[in-house]
């Protein structure tokens, strides 16, 4: 896109219709950016999607197995689901598994009918929804974790690196390789996810629940006993999210 076209393209991005999960070129969800013909689904993209699916599902399983130690009880492993990192990584795994299936089905249909998809079907809308729920939150989680949560006293193991570093590397690779579109006006999706998590932490704190270490705050920067720290962080999140999108 030339510099002279950028203002026009930016204005177009803010059209009210872009709040919706509709797109005039649904075939972009089945292609790499550099494909000569973006309308034709290719087996290489299916392999790409399955590779990411197996990668993320593998690390998701590893994260649960190592939660509290490999021999910890189910009750201890249930703490896996109190952390925003694990919420996001669960959705990343679901996104890639579902997306790989959708691309595979599309390849099979194209081989049978030789017709390019012209409308956004509900599976594609699910893919786009899940994409919006994890792309921005993944970048946010990486920044917040290393900037405000990480304790240098604890060593960085491979699982920690996978869910707090490689999660964002994955997103950046996707933005540079996949032709799947993004919309500025889809910022309510990640905002809703983070709002839901903030609500969860508030309920968790109000009911007297604690972390495995007995702490009332799941994350130091979301300590509802210390509103002078938590409220500026929460307000900052809601200001930054649309800009980041």
Tens of pLDDT along the chain (245 residues) come to 556 677 777 777 788 888 889 988 999 999 999 988 888 888 999 999 999 999 999 999 999 999 888 788 888 999 999 999 999 999 999 999 999 999 999 999 888 887 888 889 999 999 999 999 989 999 989 998 898 888 888 888 899 999 999 999 999 999 999 999 999 899 999 999 999 999 999 999 999 999 998 989 999 888 899 999 889 988 888 888 888 88
Neighbours of 75 (CB within 10 A): 8
What is the predicted pLDDT for the residue at 3? 62
Q: How many helices and strands in the chain, by DSSP H and E?
A: 9, 0
What is the predicted pLDDT for the residue at 17? 81
Domain ranges (residues) in the chain = 23-183
What is the predicted pLDDT for the residue at 19? 85
Alpha-carbon distances, residue 12 vs 184, 187, 188, 196 (angstroms): 10, 16, 18, 30
DSSP labels for 14-67?
T-GGGGSS--S-GGGGGSBTT-S-TTS--HHHHHHHHHHHHHHHHHHHHHHHHT
What is the predicted pLDDT for the residue at 16? 82
What does pTM read for this prediction?
Answer: 0.90
What is the predicted pLDDT for the residue at 205? 93
């Amino acid at each position: 896109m030339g510099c002279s076209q950028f203002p026009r393209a930016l204005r177009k991005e803010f059209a009210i219709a872009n709040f919706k999960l509709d797109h005039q070129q649904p075939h972009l969800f089945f292609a790499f950016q550099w494909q000569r013909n973006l309308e034709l689904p290719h087996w290489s993209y299916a392999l790409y999607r399955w590779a990411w699916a197996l990668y993320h599902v593998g690390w998701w399983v590893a994260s649960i197995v190592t939660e509290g130690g490999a021999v910890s009880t189910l009750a201890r492993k249930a703490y896996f689901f109190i952390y925003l990192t694990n919420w996001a990584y669960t959705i990343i795994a679901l996104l890639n598994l579902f997306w790989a299936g959708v691309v595979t089905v599309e390849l099979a249909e194209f081989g049978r009918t030789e017709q390019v998809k012209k409308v956004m079907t509900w599976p594609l809308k699910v893919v786009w929804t899940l994409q919006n729920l994890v792309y921005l939150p993944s970048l946010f989680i990486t920044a917040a974790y290393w900037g405000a949560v990480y304790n240098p006293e604890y060593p960085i193991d491979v699982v920690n690196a996978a869910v707090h570093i490689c999660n964002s590397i994955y997103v950046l690779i996707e933005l540079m390789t996949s032709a799947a579109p993004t919309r500025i006006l889809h910022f309510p999706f990640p905002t809703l996810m983070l709002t839901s998590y903030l609500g969860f932490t508030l309920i968790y704190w109000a009911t007297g629940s604690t972390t495995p270490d007995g702490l009332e705050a799941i994350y130091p920067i979301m300590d509802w006993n210390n509103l002078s720290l938590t409220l500026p962080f929460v307000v900052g999140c809601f200001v930054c999210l649309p800009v980041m999108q």
